[in-house]
Amino acid sequence: MKSRTHYKSSNIELNLITFIFLSVPTITPDGEFHPLIDADDFVLASGFGSLKDFIDRTNDQTECMNIKQIKSHLYLKYVADYYQVDKTALGHIKYKLIGTEFQNSIWKVVSSIKYGSTASYKDIALKAGRPTAIRVVGTACSRNRLVLLIPYHRVIRSDGTLGNYLYESKIKQSLLTREITSSNTQNH
Give 98-164 as a 3 state SS string. Answer: CCCHHHHHHHHHHHCCCCCCCEEHHHHHHHCCCCCCHHHHHHHHHHCCECCCCCHHHEECCCCCCCC
pLDDT at residue 1, as a whole number: 38
Whether the pLDDT of residue 18 is over 60: the answer is no
Taking residues 21-31, report their average pLDDT.
83
The CATH number assigned to the domain holding 178 equals: 1.10.10.10
pLDDT at residue 7, as a whole number: 31
**Number of folded domains that form the chain:** 2
Instruction: Round to whole Å and give the CA distance between 119 and 155.
Output: 5
85 and 138 in a single domain? The answer is no
Whether the pLDDT of residue 188 is over 70: the answer is no
Whether the pLDDT of residue 41 is over 60: the answer is yes
Which residue segment(s) compose the domain that 78 sits in?
Answer: 2-92
Whether the pLDDT of residue 38 is over 90: the answer is no
Whether the pLDDT of residue 155 is over 90: the answer is yes
**Residue, of 54 and 28, whose pLDDT is higher:** 28
**Residue, of 83 and 64, whose pLDDT is higher:** 83
113 and 45 in a single domain? The answer is no
Look up residue 4 and give its DSSP letter: E
- Calculate the CA 47 to chain-centre distance: 7
84 and 158 in a single domain? The answer is no
115 and 148 in a single domain? The answer is yes
Ranges 36-50, 65-79, 89-103: which has the least confidence: 65-79
pLDDT at residue 114, as a whole number: 95
55 and 17 in a single domain? The answer is yes
132 and 163 in a single domain? The answer is yes
33, 60, 95, 127, 130 from 159: Cα distances, Å: 30, 32, 32, 18, 20
106 and 87 in a single domain? The answer is no
